[in-house]
């Protein structure tokens, strides 16, 4: 019997027509498309790749990472060529590498970097990749608000709480706004992210940019929870709206030193 091998996939996709990364009962998923192609190539009907994390319906990726284990003797180059010939046009595999069997696309990750794009002018050619807000946004105020997210916090108000996460603690290593022509781009890196977290951050900072909220966000990070006083749902309402998924892109997954 052949030895088990672990194969790492680096991939990108346009998330517009997907229900997200994870296989679901209804709709196309990135994981499902990859699984079907791999099963056809390797003739292993139970093979399902594991991703670094889920992305929402409509969210894109330039640097998603996945892995799978196989006893197949197909080379990395053969798998790379076969995948890109079978996958639909909205998914592309950037690289295929055999890695140590201790590598895990999700649990070995040290940090992830996301980018959110906002266009301040109507740009039809970019509509699938940017949130269009054809109004003046106060860049300096949004940048000031973003500084508050840096460091380790309990992000109670900045996540979808259905279901309630096991932990609200995340460490934001870096986050900044930058101006690129008629776009405002928010880039953030953290050790982990809660469901919809980046999109709620962006929605809150847009309220700041529109003058609807102070740059101190008007909400305390690390708010203490008291089941006799305030519910998780009430705390969520203290933050801003959830920005549209199509402006968000997973740019990079960092694994640091991948030695086991």
Please write the tens of the pLDDT for every residue from 132-149.
999 999 999 999 999 999
Query: Is 91 in the same domain as 131?
Result: no
- Give the tens place of pLDDT for each residue, 25-53: 899 999 999 999 999 999 998 999 999 99
- Give the tens place of pLDDT for each residue, 232-256: 667 888 899 999 999 999 999 999 8
Q: Within a domain: residue 260?
A: no
Range list of β-strands (E), the chain: 5-13, 50-51, 60-70, 91-99, 111-119, 131-132, 151-154, 169-180, 183-190, 248-254
Q: Within a domain: residue 259?
A: no
pLDDT for position 254: 97
**DSSP category for residue 128:** T
CATH number at residue 89: 3.30.70.580
Containing structural domain, residue 200: 111-254
- Note the pTM of the prediction, 2 decimals: 0.93
Say whether 238 sits in a helix, a strand or coil: coil
Say whether 27 sits in a helix, a strand or coil: coil
Q: Within a domain: residue 166?
A: yes
Query: Is 116 in the same domain as 224?
Result: yes
CATH number at residue 228: 3.30.70.660
What integer is the mean pLDDT of 6-18? Answer: 97
Say whether 10 sits in a helix, a strand or coil: strand
Q: Which of 99, 129, 150 is the last residue of a domain?
A: 99
Active-site residue numbers? 56
pLDDT for position 219: 65
């Amino acid at each position: 019997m052949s030895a088990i091998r672990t194969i790492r996939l680096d991939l990108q996709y346009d998330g517009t027509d997907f229900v997200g990364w994870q296989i679901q009962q209804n709709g196309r998923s990135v994981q499902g498309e990859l699984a079907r192609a791999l099963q056809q190539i390797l003739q292993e009907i139970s093979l399902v790749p594991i991703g670094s994390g889920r992305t929402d319906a409509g969210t894109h990726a330039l640097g998603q990472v996945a892995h799978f284990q196989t006893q197949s003797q197909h080379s990395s180059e053969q798998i790379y060529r076969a995948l890109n010939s079978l996958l639909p046009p909205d998914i592309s595999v950037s690289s295929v590498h055999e890695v140590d069997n201790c590598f895990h696309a999700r649990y070995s990750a040290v940090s992830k970097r996301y980018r959110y794009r906002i266009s301040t002018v109507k740009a039809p050619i970019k509509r699938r990749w940017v949130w269009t807000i054809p109004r003046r946004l106060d860049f300096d105020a949004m940048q000031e608000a973003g500084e508050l997210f840096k460091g380790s916090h309990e992000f109670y108000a900045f996540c979808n709480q259905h279901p309630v996460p096991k932990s609200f603690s995340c460490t934001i290593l870096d986050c900044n706004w930058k101006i690129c022509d008629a776009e405002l781009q928010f880039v953030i890196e953290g050790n982990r992210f809660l469901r919809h977290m980046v999109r709620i951050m962006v929605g809150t900072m847009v309220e700041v940019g529109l003058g609807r909220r102070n740059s101190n966000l008007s909400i305390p990070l690390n708010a203490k929870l008291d089941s006799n006083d305030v519910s998780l749902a009430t705390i969520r309402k203290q933050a801003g709206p959830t920005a549209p998924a199509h402006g968000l892109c997973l740019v990079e997954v960092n694994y640091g030193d991948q030695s086991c």
